[in-house]
Structure 1
Amino acid sequence: MTLYVDTSGDALFKRGVRQYTNVAPLRENLAAGILLLTGWQPGVPLLDPMCGSDLYGDELKAAHLNLENAGLRGAVTLNQANVLEISAPADHGVLVANLPYGERMGDLEELQELYPKLGDVLKKKFGGWNAYLFTSDLRMPKFIRLSVSRRTLLFNGAIECRLFEYKMVAGSNRT
C-alpha cells in the first residue's frame, strides 16, 4: 500500500486571484517574468490587447469575476474589442501580447494573415509605445514586418518561445 499526502493544496492558479481561466492561459509566473522583462513601471499605461482572446465574451466575464474576487474591480479596465481595430489609449506605454502560435490556439494559415495586419496596427496606431509579443512561432517577426529591437528566449512549459520587443516610433510608419 502507498499513502500520498497532499502538502500543497490546490493548483497555484486556483490559490490566487485567477480562479476562472480561459483555454490557453499563460502561467502567472511566466506572465510576471515577461512584465519584468519589459521594464514596465506603475503609472505607465499597460495594454494587453489579446488577454482572454475570445469572440463571445466568456473570458471577459471570467476576468471580471477574478477581479471582483481579488477586490480589484475598479482598478483595471477590461474591454472586448477586435485586436485589429484597437487604438493606443495614450501617447506612450507598454503593449504586451501572448500571441496565438498554432500550439493550442490558432491555425497556421490564419496566423500568417493575422501577423501582417497586427504589424500594420502597431505601426499606425502605437507610435511612442514599446510592444512585446510573446510566441513560439519564430516566423512571426518575418510576417509582422517590424524591426525587432530585442529577442529573449523563454519557455512556456516545454514549448520554446521568444519575447520580441518592438520600439514603435511616433509619427512614422517605421520602427
Structure 2
Amino acid sequence: MSTNESTTVVTGRAEDFDDFVHGRGRALLRFAYVLSGDAHLAEDLVQEVLARMHRRWHKVTVMESPEAYVRTAIVRQFVSWRRRFSAREAILADVPEPAGVDEPQARVAARDQMWQLMAGLPRSQRAVLVLRFYEDLPDDEIAALLGCGQSTVRSQAARALARMRTMLSERGVGGDG
C-alpha cells in the first residue's frame, strides 16, 4: 500500500468528508491496525482523528493530499497517546514452533512472532518501522510525518531492529542475522 493512493477533494462540504471516509476509511483503518497491532485501538485512533478532521475538513481539503494529512494525524495520535488502553498491550506467551512442512502454518507463526516483536517496541520505534516497511516511505518523509530529523528516524529504526533481534535471540529463535 502506498500513500500515493489519495482522493482529491476540492471543497469542504460534509458530503465530501463522508465520501472521503467511505472511500478511504478501510485503508486508514488497516494502516492504524498495522501501526497499533490492535483492532480496537486502530478503530479508536481512526475515529479520534476523523472526529477532529470533520470539524475542520474545509481546511484539510485545500491541502495537496488530504489523505496524507489524515495519516500523519493518525501516526502522531498513536505515538502520543498516553491512554490507559496502552497498558493493555502485552507480549503474548510463547511463539509457536514453525511447522516445517505446513507452509501456511509457518506463515501464521511468523506473522504472530512479528506482531509480538512489534508489540515489544516503544511507539515511536514501531511507528518508524511501519512507515518504512509497510508504507514504504523514505527517511525524509518519515521525518516530516513524525516531526523529527532524518537521523532520528534512522536511529529509531536501528534501535527497533536491534531490539527485535535481541528479543529473538532471548527466545532462542533465529541467528545473529
Normalised-by-shorter TM-score class: 0.3 to 0.5
Greater strand fraction, Structure 1 or Structure 2: 1
- TM-score of the aligned structures, taking structure 1 as reference length: 0.33
